[in-house]
Chains A and B, each alone.
Chain A
Amino acid sequence: MAKATFSIWRGEANQGRFTDYQTEVTEGMVVLDAVHQIQAEDATDLACRWNCKAGKCGSCSAEINGQPRLMCMTRLNTLDLSQPVTVEPMRAFPHMKDLVTDVSWNYEVKKKIKKFTPRKPDAADGTWRMQQDDVDRPQEFRKCIECFLCQDVCHVLRDHQLHDQFIGPRFLVYAANLEMNPIDAENRLDELRRLHGIGYCNITKCCTNVCPEEIKITDNAIIPLKERVVDHAFDPLAKIIGLVTGRIPGP
């Protein structure tokens, strides 16, 4: 079997550089397998995150040949192995060690979004009635595995570093999931505009392009949310109704 070269970012807290490793390539291997093999053979202290190895937990995010990807879902036969494959950490977050970054900011952001608050149950047994058609859309958003690849690629965070003013695509998806949940009675539209910086998104769709769950982040979450935010901001009547009933005016 052939060997391939992997250029892996090594080092702590941005003091890193690429180090080349050669390892055997076998059929069906993914980048994460190569990293593990290198870990076992040459570099026992090589740091990377992973859990499920099946694209379900969103732990193994990295930049592979410059592209934000899940290491466990990137097959080697989709890469050009005649060149060294570069593997480096997500660049939009503070570096910790090797392929591991500090993603704690994301957890802080999520806490600031008003939590799910259901309306009164529809039935005496404390349950609700919802049609499948009405949950299809939020279910799409709930596929999110919190890999934060969309956050990594969004220029507002990556290039402009507006982490304190913009929650990023992942949390716009999260907010959209709450706003479109048929039984949620909370209203987050004011905050989305004032605190969460939805206006910073200029719909470049870079986030949608990297989402491993193929969530249509921009078309299905951000654009409808922007429309609701605009309607809400410029419709004084809706605002009053919203204040009185806690209900969201439709888009």
Chain B
Amino acid sequence: MADLKTYDHDVLVIGAGGAGLRAAIEAAAGGVSVGLVCKSLLGKAHTVMAEGGMAAAMGNVDDRDNWKVHFTDTLRGGQYVNNWRMAELHAREAPDRVKELEAWGALFDRTKDGRILQRNFGGHRYPRLAHVGDRTGLEMIRTLQDHGVHQGIDVHMEVTVTTLFKRGDRVVGALGYDRHHGDFHLFRARAVVLATGGIGRAYQITSNSWEYSGDGQALAYQAGASLMDMEFIQFHPTGMVWPPSVKGILVTEGVRGEGGVLLNNKGERFMFNDIPDNYKAQTADTPEEGWRYTQGDKNARRPPELLTRDHVARCIMREVKAGRGSPHGGVFLDIAWIKEKIKNAPEHIRKKLPSMYHQFKQLADIDITAVPMEIGPTTHYVMGGIRVEGDSQMSAVPGLFAAGEAAAGLHGANRLGGNSLSDLLVFGKRAGEYAARFARENAAIAPDSGEVAEKIKTALEPFDRKSGESPYKVQHDLQKMMQELVGIVRKEDEMLHAAEGLKALKARAANVSVTGSREYNPGWHTAIEIQNLITVSEAVILSAVARKESRGGHFREDYQDKKAEFGTFNHLVDQAADGTMELTQKPIPPMTAELKLIVEEMK
């Protein structure tokens, strides 16, 4: 293999967003050699898009907050199918992870007494999100990046991993190609951390970048790990809907946190019409109370706009379907109205939501301090993913770890805003720590060279086929199908139709051809990525068909209610011996008595 470069790392981290960077830093601190593979340039990963903040019960703004409240908020939001151990660890450890960022150079917005400021967000009982305006993700990734480059980590930029290698049960390395030359790279490693993010590119309307093609989930699945709860996908209620070229781009929940309201074309605040029973006690009765909540009144309850994302997204869809939507198929999100309440409202909005102001001004010619925005749901996040053990983040494959969006468990059926950035830190750290430990305790084994050669050959096949169709076409058709048939509102017959459609797409994907050289060839990259998108789409469909109820991000038009019996297990997807995809139910283990008590107390 003339063009094969080989590297030896004790721990190989795949993905360099918040979770991957945090894992790499921790592994390096554990005294082992670390390689970090980024699909893009360092510091460009999707974490930069996170806006609102990171949830951590520090109690800087409201001292009634503590980890127990955060823990129960997370379970309530996740409809109790979360991995409760992860929810516990997350709630307990998030404050330290946030403070640590400050010690590494992050500059959060401040309280009057000089501490880290925290803001309100959907589903969180108290103001809990540490933030920097509406660019918290950028702050986080830059802090980790700037700290990380001084920790002796070997960074491989613009490299995409296509295969994991095993010897016996254990994962022993990975194969990737670099975008620049299209050369192959063999990474030999004692432990591998997957921190590759989500699957948003399986859908047409998404807030996710091209990187989000389900690479980690597909790699883990091929290697014999289980995927869990893949039906739970979060459609963020507020994405841009106009102009067409920006459809799907995220509009932060922070807009609602700062007092923004949702209106239909009759000017009605429709969110007041549908408040789920388990949130009634926590939700404002009047617009006035809701406004006071957003302005920090501790005695006020949150406005219904800040109910969980799954619920808000569905309410928006209902308005649109009933003909009460905005001109371009969304509803209105109005922050400009606060000028009735505060002086200098335009300036206040620009200060609190600078990126949103900028984004609408530049991309849509809209001044959000003067007129309402048009917004609608966009595919945002997958709660499901690689099944891991809560403490160590190790998958069913020894030596293979996962963290962040690629892993499943913490968020259950629906993720609360702000719980993602803290997830990346808490479990990125844990994955790095346990991967380093695994690497210290296990010897390196070289991948089988015959297998390496074979995988390289497979990756290059699209160049050999001369008459196949364009990979972009197949990708486009897959996205369209998933959007239409397995989107925010699901039905049995539509999904079975999608399952059939997927078979055809699989055949087409196996037959795409690409032209040009291997140097920075996006057509070729797409040809490889659609294989992953097809794998994760199949897992989503299989799990979604089997969940004959509605829960969190999974809404069935044909089974609109939540059913108790479906709250007792998680869905697992594995590769069967014959290579087909297999779905099983895995009972959720009983919670410890201590945690059970906490849940009861906070009901």
Contacts and interface: CB of A to CB of B under 8 A. Distances in A.
Q: Do A and B share a complex? A: yes
Interface of A: 12, 26-30, 33, 39-40, 44-59, 73, 75, 96-98, 100, 102-104, 107, 110-111, 115-116, 118, 121, 125-132, 135, 138-139, 142-146, 178, 181, 184
Interface in B351-381: 355, 358-359, 362-364
Given A44-B522, A54-B49, A107-B42, A26 B107 contact: no
Nearest to B180: A96
Nearest to B51: A56
Interface in B175-210: 180, 209-210
B178 to A, nearest CB: 11
Contacts of B362: 55, 73, 75
Interface in B514-538: 514-517, 519-524
Is chain A's binding surface mostly helix, strand, loop or mixed? Answer: loop
Given A73-B362, A135-B107, A143 B46 contact: no
Nearest to A126: B99
B105 A178 contact: yes
Question: In the complex, which of the residues B41, B132, B245, B521 has the most CB atoms of chain A within 10 Å of its own CB atom?
Answer: B245
A238 to B, nearest CB: 24
A45 B524 CA distance: 8
A132 B110 contact: yes
A118 B143 CA distance: 13
B332 to A, nearest CB: 18
Contact of A129 (B113, B470, B472, B522): B113
Contacts of A139: 107, 132-133
29 contacts: A40-B476, A44-B471, A44-B522, A45-B515, A45-B516, A47-B520, A51-B45, A51-B46, A52-B44, A52-B209, A54-B49, A55-B358, A57-B44, A59-B41, A75-B363, A98-B520, A102-B180, A110-B149, A126-B103, A127-B99, A127-B115, A128-B114, A129-B113, A132-B110, A138-B107, A139-B133, A142-B132, A144-B142, A145-B48
Interface string B224-261: 00000000000000000011111001100000000000
A110 B146 contact: yes
B150 interface: yes
Interface string B109-138: 110011110000000000000001101001
A57 B48 contact: yes
B279 interface: no
A30 B520 contact: no
A75 B246 CA distance: 11
B367 to A, nearest CB: 15
A30 B245 contact: yes
B242 A28 contact: yes
Given A45-B515, A53-B209, A100-B520, 20 more contacts: A12-B517, A27-B243, A40-B470, A40-B472, A40-B476, A44-B514, A47-B521, A51-B40, A51-B44, A52-B44, A55-B359, A56-B138, A75-B363, A107-B157, A118-B105, A125-B99, A130-B114, A135-B109, A146-B43, A181-B105
B7 interface: no
Contacts of B359: 54-55
B362 to A, nearest CB: 5
B67 to A, nearest CB: 15
A29 B210 contact: no
A74 to B, nearest CB: 9
A91 B70 CA distance: 50
Given A45-B514, A126-B99, A145-B48, A29 B107 contact: no
